[in-house]
Amino acid sequence: MKKRLVLSFLVAQLFCAAIVWAESLTLEDVAALKRVTAARMSPAGDRVAYLLQVPRKLYEHDDGKPYHELHVTDLEGNSRPYVTGDIDITDLAWSADGQAVYFLAKRDPEADFNSLHRISLAGGEAEPIFTHLNDINRIYPASDGVRLAFTASGAPPEKVKELAEKGFKALVYEESVLPVTVWMLNLQSLNAVAHDLPGSASDFAWSSDGSRYAVALAPSPLVDDSFTSRDIYVVDSMKGAVQSRLGSIGKLGAFAFSPDGDHVAYVGSVNVNDPREGRLYAVSSSGGMRREIVPDYLGHVHQLLWAEDAQVRWIGYRGVYTDWATADITDPRPIGQAPQRGPIIRFVDGHPGQDKAVAIADTPEHPGELYLLSDGADPVRLTDSNPWLADRALARQEVITYKARDGLEVEALLITPAASKRGGNPLIVVAHGGPESNYSNGWLTWYSAPGQVFAANGYAVVYPNYRGSTGRGVAFSKLDQHDYAEEEFNDLVDAKRHLVKQGLVDAKRVGITGGSYGGYASMWSASALSEEYAAAVAFVGISDQISKFGTGDIPYEMYNAHSLAWPWEDWLWMLKRSPIYHADKTRTPLLIMAGDKDPRVSPSQSLEMYRYVKLRTDTPVRLVFYPEEGHGNEKSAAQYDYSLRLWRWMEHYLNGPGGEPPPYEIDHASRLEPEQQADE
């Protein structure tokens, strides 16, 4: 027994040493990660076309979003690049005969709009075949090989670009947003015809024979309507005439026709107050009562595929893993026990009658890759987009549960430090947005939360699925309704206290960060809960619940799914749930970052918190705006800059001298090539 204990100790020490000695993940590595972002199974089910996201090279490429390349692989993982380089492909689809792939891209930098391209599976150059009056959003080839449906707005106002150059560029808020229309493109004549439908279109699905299509329509093109008021319409594809409306309630997700066309399955909501679509329903395609086909599901269904006329395959988030299962629309029944392992499936594509599907999934060891899903077998990984990751030492990631102070059981993911000191490790709490979202036991390292980078440098990093999160059923997701900031953010504190009690974490060296609703959590934690945290970084966060209603683009969604009250119904209640109300309590050094074009959480929210903390305290506070960025940074350089500032703030206050903030400058200039510096 004593020998086994000694041997176990030595193995553990060697494991820790290997992590320390091997090359660890860096912020530059995170900025260079490639990932699969879209995938389509060929009609025959023997190939997969997919988009590979490739970040721009820091300090070399011009500013912009990551590139998206087109690749095709067989089911053995033999992948071939088709359209690569400096290109951003935004959508793709197979031709009806499976001999070509259509894709959307703006290959001419001088062009006003993107174009539809086609590339043969045999290879050769991609050819542009159609350019619309505006950017095309999504493409949907019909099974007849002659028609291709696409969603897009109509032509912008006449001479708008020329007038803007003359200074006439006023925008009429919300009213000037163009509705999205379904268009039918004849691939032989290249004529496109708009269908006159009662609303602004988003998602789309063909019936198998091409005689009809289902489309999600909202009353207007505004984001709030797309969140709260979409419904599914079944339309005659030749005449463009609505045949039925299916009566979805609240938030709406994916949908598809059954192979025989008799039913539509869709991911929907229990009611208008359901925070997130996540129930799986089937309804007659001619209308009628819907039927939930996975009753009592303590998770959230995310996507679906039809297997046969009465069989629906679906994926769902449950706990910190994902279900991949089949439901029978004629025999609804609850699913069995929650999964305890497996890659986290984010997307799936396939065709009825086939025993295989393709998925995009991630694990704690790698970000999104292609997987093959076969009936009765474990998922098989097809791609390896970052082979160099095998040479990086990743810290241990595990699932933990803990009790909140009121007895509620909460799940979280924990990345432990590579070289842990009992009781002496700094901790970073990462609060997700939404709050109708959740963390799964997959890849948890990205630019705004580089968990593995922190762990490689001695931090513990915890990702709690606090009350209000998805993945545990409707009731759990409603636990924070009309209860902003109180118990839900206490759950974050209780995660910290649990880890302190376990002997892993130094209670005085705890930081918190998050974006959107997680940014709200970070501001609240820095102020109302300031005694619990030594550093906070808030990204595109909410500081004032009253002005949030007046400046954001989703007031009805906030009311229906979260607050259940309007500010004017109780001004003081809403104000007290705002971090600015508690700004005078702020003792936690606070870094605030935001995009200056954010329509969801106005940059004024960040400015308010900065100004109130600055006026009412002597606590270090800094505000960083990212030009031309919205609700989260999309451009490669802005993402990397964010990572550097987050890292430096946490290091300074959790591991460093503290006190006055670190310098505000980031020395990017020294990283430029000499010729670039000379040009400047």
The answer to whether the beta carbons of residues 53 and 35 sit under 8 Å apart is: yes
pLDDT (average), residues 284-292: 97
Alpha helices in 474-531 (DSSP H): 474-477, 487-501, 517-527
CATH architecture of 394-655: 3-Layer(aba) Sandwich (3.40)
Whether pTM exceeds 0.85: yes
DSSP letter, residue 323 = E
Among all chains, which residue has been given the structure tokens 């893993």? 321
Predicted confidence (pLDDT) at residue 27 exceeds the cutoff of 80: yes
Strand order in the sheet with 380-381: 344-350, 356-363, 366-374, 380-381
Neighbours of 291 (CB within 10 A): 16
For residue range 510-527, list pLDDT tens digits in order.
999 999 999 999 999 999
Confidence of residue 674 (pLDDT cuts 50, 70, 90): low
Average pLDDT in the chain: 94
Predicted confidence (pLDDT) at residue 422 exceeds the cutoff of 80: no
pLDDT of amino acid 673: 73
Predicted confidence (pLDDT) at residue 597 exceeds the cutoff of 80: yes
- Report the C-alpha gap between 53 and 55 in whole angstroms: 7
Strand order in the sheet with 242-245: 200-206, 212-218, 231-236, 242-245
pLDDT of amino acid 421: 75
- Report the C-alpha gap between 639 and 297 in whole angstroms: 37
Q: Provide Rg for the chain, Cα atoms.
A: 26
pLDDT of amino acid 15: 38
pLDDT (average), residues 610-629: 98
For residue range 74-102, list pLDDT tens digits in order.
999 999 999 999 999 999 999 999 999 99
Closest CA to 463 of 474, 477, 452: 452
Fold of 248-341: Thrombin, subunit H (2.40.10)
pLDDT (average), residues 422-449: 96
- Report the C-alpha gap between 117 and 285 in whole angstroms: 33
| Residue 517 vs residues 113, 121, 469, 548: alpha-carbon distances, Å | 33, 44, 11, 12
Q: How is residue 530 written in tokens?
A: 């300031």
Domain residue spans of the chain? 156-245, 248-341, 394-655
394-655 matches 248-341 in CATH topology: no
Predicted confidence (pLDDT) at residue 70 exceeds the cutoff of 50: yes
- Report the C-alpha gap between 479 and 185 in whole angstroms: 47
pLDDT of amino acid 5: 34
Omega before residue 435 within 30° of 0, cis: yes
The answer to whether the beta carbons of residues 174 and 152 sit under 8 Å apart is: no
- Report the C-alpha gap between 623 and 591 in whole angstroms: 6
Q: 8-12, 298-302, 466-470, 600-604: which range is least confident on average? A: 8-12
pLDDT (average), residues 181-192: 98
Strand order in the sheet with 255-257: 255-257, 263-268, 279-284, 291-292
∠ CA 377-341-453, rounded to 5°: 125
Higher-scoring residue by pLDDT: 619, 421: 619
